[in-house]
Chain A
Amino acid sequence: MSLKPKHQRLLLAALAIAAVLAAVLLAMWGLKDRAAYFFTPAEIAAGKAEQGRAIRLGGMVEKGSIRQGGDGVTITFVVEDGKARVPVRYRGITPDLFREASGVVAEGRMRGSTFEADTILAKHDERYMPPQLGNQAAEHAAAKTLDR
């Protein structure tokens, strides 16, 4: 099988376009049920999060809500956003910057009315806030720190 150069070029161009289309279609298919949505406690209270589906929960760790479990490596706490509260259970070592009255993003899923977290991300330093929690807050904090 031998093609004329011109036809071969057309074929290659068609293949390249097909590849791009395939990538987009595959990506769309994958995103349809694998994108983890970001929820605030208020949205969870409104019943927007599906049970058992991988999601992220972001908000503030409620003051006085962190409790140690009996095995020493499980903790429970409450994430709130001023409008609603969601209890979270997590087994593992909490990140260094995880503390009460501070921003947190937890990855996991809803089981009943409790959020079962697989991973907990806390803010990296005082200048940092997850963008999902609002850039204004971070800018405000950054401006304040620089003023000092």
Chain B
Amino acid sequence: MIAELGLAALWLAAMLALLQLLLALGIGGRPSAAGARPLALVQAALTLLAFAALIVLFLRTDLSVTLVAANSHSAKPWLYKFAGAWGNHEGSMLLWVTVLALSGALLALFERRVAEKMLVASLGAQAALGLGFYAFLLLASNPFARLDPAPAEGRGLNPLLQDPGLAFHPPTLYLGYVGLSVAFSLAVGAMLTRQVDAPLARAMRPWVLGSWIFLTLGITAGSYWAYYELGWGGWWFWDPVENASLMPWLAATALLHSVNVLAARGGLRSWTMMLAVVAFSMSMVGTFLVRSGILTSVHAFAVDPQRGTFILVLLALYVGAALALFAARAATIREGAPFDPVSREGALVVNNLLLSVILGIVFVGTLYPIVAEALSGEKLSVGPPYFNAVAGPLALLLAALLVVGPLLRWRRDKRPLAKWVLPSVLTAATVLVITFVFVPGMGILSRLGLAFGIALVPASIVPLLGRSLRRTPLATWGMVIAHLGVGVALIGMASESAFTREKLAVAQPGDKLSVGPWLVELAGIAPVAGPNWTAIEAHLRASRGSGAETLRPQARVFTSPLTETSEAAIHTAWNGQLYAVIGKQRDDGWQLRLWWKPFVTLIWLGGMLIALGGLVALVGRLWRERRRGREAEE
């Protein structure tokens, strides 16, 4: 029953999306917000119902549902039954569609700042997006399909996904990914009704900011998850699936900055519309890459060419239509207010150009292997050597410009800025000299990254100097915190790649290994058991000078499906992490792999600071809007 209920709710939601689109097109009645709003709200309620139905099916391990039988198991801990609902292709697409419908409902509910005509057009665009993905779900990825006869037991969830990260990472990432659809729809609505102006930007800004915060958190969480779960000690692999989340983030970051220019100065109108279209297009490209099964990845749950084609057609349709609309309307969008090259606008243009170039490089590098294989049958892969060498220097340049950009004033800035910038230049130069003397073998990217990161941390606070801190808008605080986060993350990345120490050896109980400043003793090896796995656990005692830390890395064997995974053990110290992995048994002991990664935690701390900066800015913006709205009413 529950499965049928979920399926019916999805079909109904799809019908409502169709109605919403027709209404926006003026078919069957005059387009009005009063008509479109309830449609969007009920649609979201229905998709939520369908999503809840799927979760109930997974919690109950209803094996008469194909998806549950193929991906769940009755002996699984309840958290993974729950989160396992989206740890598969169909379930994760249902989550995608649910977030899309929720975004539409939030837009319908809270967006009162734009003209009614535009809101209806935007809701129409949102419904058009929804319609395609409902069709994909219902026709090519039905999560509620029945299995007859039902098997006695399910096949279980990929053990790599059996981690608390599964409960957090995909929903967060999707909120960001799909939340960008609102910016897309607002841009389409504005271009259709020819109202590309500052009020639109002020309306769009919180939506962009909100999605961007979730995207940042989702990427940060995904990076940490991969770091501790895969047991490879790496935090970013330039894997196409990671790039699939990075590309919308780069576009959204550019959009976040350009929408400010439009909101504050009425400039960069066409460019901002273009970015809003590109950002969500990148989300769809990412969905295509991850969900089509075209990639080799833990995220590619199953291989099905039909699904890939389906998403590709949707992608071409939506991106093509939006770009065609842009081409048709670009000439009618008015020019913005002029500005000097040396100005806040000028700096933000440079920010946008650099982010766009990085986006282009990541895009080409990610898609090139797929296109090359499709065209010539040549099989190749593009990895870290390409991305680091080509995108790395540009990212560093962007970080260096972060020292100057936020200091500039709107429109024109003729003040001498040297006294503000000079300390940063000196800091960076000092770090460079010190590293040249003490760490001559350091790679150029990590050397510069460390120097720029250390210089950026104090420099990011400079915009607050000389202001009354109480009167400083929250948005400015947010910017400062986010830029500080960039510096912090940069230090972590540079330190991890330059100063990591590794030890790989075979050890017997009683043996001592040294890695970096640590002396690690293998105290013992013992079997342990969990709810649906058994494991060999090493007992490690690590010390540096005084005190002792205990680490217990495991080699786990899951019973369903029968799979071995390795669970790394990590000790977090104030200045880095000690990371231990146990390998296979050998004649003379056990394989142990140890890493000492100084300041690696700063990478994710930086990511969280960036997201926190976004949150502070978002609260500030919304607060101000509310107060202004109240004042206007009075």
Chain A interface residue number, banded: 35 or more
Known: A35-B381, A72-B588. A16 touches B338 (CB 8 A): no
Known: A16-B271, A26-B361. A96 touches B566 (CB 8 A): yes
Q: In whole angstroms, how far apart are the Cα atoms of A121 and B158 in the complex?
A: 16
Q: Count how many chain B residues have C-beta atoms less than 8 Å from C-beta atoms of the other chain.
A: 68
Known: A30-B390, A73-B505. A126 touches B561 (CB 8 A): yes
Counting CB contacts under 8 A, is A142 at the interface?
A: yes
Chain A min CB distance to B338 (Å): 5
Within 8 A of B (CB), among A35-50: 35-38
A8 touches B338 (CB 8 A): yes
Known: A31-B382, A73-B506, A142-B303. A23 touches B361 (CB 8 A): yes
Q: In whole angstroms, how far apart are the Cα atoms of A26 and B359 in the complex?
A: 12
B368 touches A93 (CB 8 A): no
Number of A-B contacts (CB under 8 A): 161
Chain A min CB distance to B300 (Å): 8
Residues in A whose Cβ lies below 8 Å from that of B70: 146
Q: In whole angstroms, how far apart are the Cα atoms of A31 and B391 in the complex?
A: 12
Q: In whole angstroms, how far apart are the Cα atoms of A97 and B295 in the complex?
A: 19
Counting CB contacts under 8 A, is B242 at the interface?
A: no
Chain B min CB distance to A69 (Å): 10
A15 touches B360 (CB 8 A): no
Chain B min CB distance to A115 (Å): 15
Known: A30-B361, A93-B584, A96-B566. A130 touches B296 (CB 8 A): yes
Chain B min CB distance to A15 (Å): 6
Q: In whole angstroms, how far apart are the Cα atoms of A15 and B507 in the complex?
A: 59
Counting CB contacts under 8 A, is A117 at the interface?
A: no
Counting CB contacts under 8 A, is B434 at the interface?
A: no
Report which of A4, A26, A28, A105 forms a contact with B296, defined as CB distance below 8 A.
A105
Counting CB contacts under 8 A, is B268 at the interface?
A: yes
Q: In whole angstroms, how far apart are the Cα atoms of A19 and B341 in the complex?
A: 17
Chain A min CB distance to B265 (Å): 12
Q: In whole angstroms, how far apart are the Cα atoms of A19 and B359 in the complex?
A: 10
Counting CB contacts under 8 A, is B302 at the interface?
A: yes
Residues in A whose Cβ lies below 8 Å from that of B369: 35
Within 8 A of A (CB), among B308-344: 335-341
Report which of A5, A129, A139 forms a contact with B335, defined as CB distance below 8 A.
A5
Most chain A beta-carbon neighbours within 10 Å: one of B160, B303, B555: B303
Most chain A beta-carbon neighbours within 10 Å: one of B337, B365, B581, B589: B365
Q: In whole angstroms, how far apart are the Cα atoms of A38 and B296 in the complex?
A: 13
Counting CB contacts under 8 A, is B564 at the interface?
A: yes
Q: In whole angstroms, how far apart are the Cα atoms of A113 and B485 in the complex?
A: 48
Counting CB contacts under 8 A, is A138 at the interface?
A: yes
Q: Mark A1-31, 1 if CB is under 8 A from B, else 0.
A: 1111110110011011001101110111111
Knowing that A92-B504, A93-B231 are A-B contacts, what are 17 other residue pairs whose CB atoms are under 8 Å apart, sorted by A's residue number? A3-B338, A5-B338, A12-B349, A15-B353, A19-B356, A35-B382, A37-B381, A71-B506, A72-B587, A72-B591, A73-B505, A93-B583, A94-B583, A96-B565, A107-B383, A139-B303, A139-B304
List the 5 closest A-B pairs by CB distance, nearest first.
A23-B360, A72-B506, A93-B583, A27-B364, A30-B390
**Interface residue ranges, A against B (CB under 8 Å):** 1-6, 8-9, 12-13, 15-16, 19-20, 22-24, 26-31, 34-38, 54, 56, 68, 71-73, 91-94, 96-97, 105, 107, 121, 124-132, 135, 138-139, 142, 145-146
